[in-house]
Amino acid sequence: MAAAVTLQSNALLTYDEVKDALGKVAQTNQPQVNAAINRVSDAFERYTNRWLRQRKVWNSLHRRTDEIAVKAFPIQRILGVYTGFDLVTATGTADSGSTTTLVDSTLTQADDYWNGATLDIQTTTDNWERVIVNDFVASTDTLSWESAQATSVTASGKDFALTLYNKSAYYALQITDYREINHEAGIISLPGAYNLLVVDYVGGFSQSGGAYPLPDDLKQAAIWQVLDWLNASAHGQASAINLGTTNVSYRDRSGAALTLIPDVKLILDRYRRIVLG
């Protein structure tokens, strides 16, 4: 029996949506389907250079600008825009951890204190990997980050360095300080240039319903790509995938590397985030 695979927080599809596209799917195949959904969701975010699913983003840093282009959009809600702050840092050696968590007893701050901090983990003598902390649990001294950012090493016993922009020293801009907010494009315009800005916000397409649901063409592209990768994973060069009692004809991969379908790329190009300068 295949090991259980849960959907990531950035998953663009549900198991039921893929099952509906295929027809009948044996329940024992859910781990493979979920793994394909996770893989497609990560690939779509890499290709578009943006976070597609709704999430809360802390300490998004923007330098010398009067216009902020956030990475998770549409912008659902702005929690705060700040300037004039101090840096907080911490270093140490992890007591324990995994590829998505780090535990160290010297981290004695309150819950969520390190949310949004940059975490550098030493992988070898001369190499470090960087992730963004999305949760800090004070009771267990645990930092965690999304599986889409998983490091190549287990954090246990590794040296680490944390960097956070200190909210206690921030000056918070008021909503009247914003010249314009383009929710769909993820752009916040300000009346003048600032040397350094930090934004806390909620952005990305809603998980279900809401003001900004996942667009139909993006959902369809995800379904096509999931089916394509399931086919290649199950049969290599075969042109059909057998899930449970259903045999679904799909694209012949001819042994090619698992890449995005050209028609899927055409759809994703409409959602790409381009950052100039």
Q: If the chain, 277 residues long, is cut into consecutive pieces of 10 residues, what is the mean pLDDT of each piece?
A: 77 91 71 88 92 87 78 91 78 92 93 89 85 92 84 86 73 74 90 77 87 94 90 50 38 51 94 78
d(CA 205, CA 224): 19
Pair (100, 142) in one structural domain: yes
Pair (157, 219) in one structural domain: no
- Count Cβ atoms below 10 Å from residue 75 Cβ, excluding itself: 23
Task: Show contacts of 168-175: CB within 8 Å, 24+ apart.
Answer: 169/84, 169/85, 169/86, 170/80, 170/82, 170/83, 170/84, 170/85, 170/198, 171/82, 171/83, 171/84, 171/85, 172/80, 172/81, 172/82, 173/80, 173/81, 173/82, 173/83, 175/78
* CA distances for 220 relative to 24, 84, 102, 196, angstroms: 19, 44, 37, 39
Residue 31, Cβ density class (10 Å: 0-12 exposed, 13-18 middle, ≥19 buried): middle
In 3D space, the residue among 47, 73, 44, 66 whose CA is nearest the CA of residue 224 turns out to be 44
- According to the model, what pLDDT value does residue 222 have? 95
Query: Is residue 57 a contact partner of residue 36, using CB atoms and an 8 Å limit?
Result: no
- Count Cβ atoms below 10 Å from residue 171 Cβ, excluding itself: 10
Pair (192, 84) in one structural domain: yes
Pair (88, 194) in one structural domain: yes
pTM over cut 0.75: no
Pair (91, 20) in one structural domain: no
Please give the residue range of the domain that contains residue 63: 55-203
- Count Cβ atoms below 10 Å from residue 269 Cβ, excluding itself: 10
Total tally of structural domains belonging to the chain: 2
d(CA 25, CA 36): 14
d(CA 102, CA 95): 8
Pair (136, 67) in one structural domain: yes
Most distant pair of Cα atoms in the chain: their distance: 62
- According to the model, what pLDDT value does residue 127 have? 83
Domain assignment of residue 8, yes or no: no
Pair (99, 231) in one structural domain: no
Domain assignment of residue 186, yes or no: yes
- According to the model, what pLDDT value does residue 135 have? 92
Domain assignment of residue 9, yes or no: no
Helix, coil or strand: residue 90:
strand
Helix, coil or strand: residue 65:
strand
Last residue within a domain, chosen from 180, 203, 226: 203
Pair (24, 105) in one structural domain: no
- According to the model, what pLDDT value does residue 233 have? 62
Domain assignment of residue 276, yes or no: no
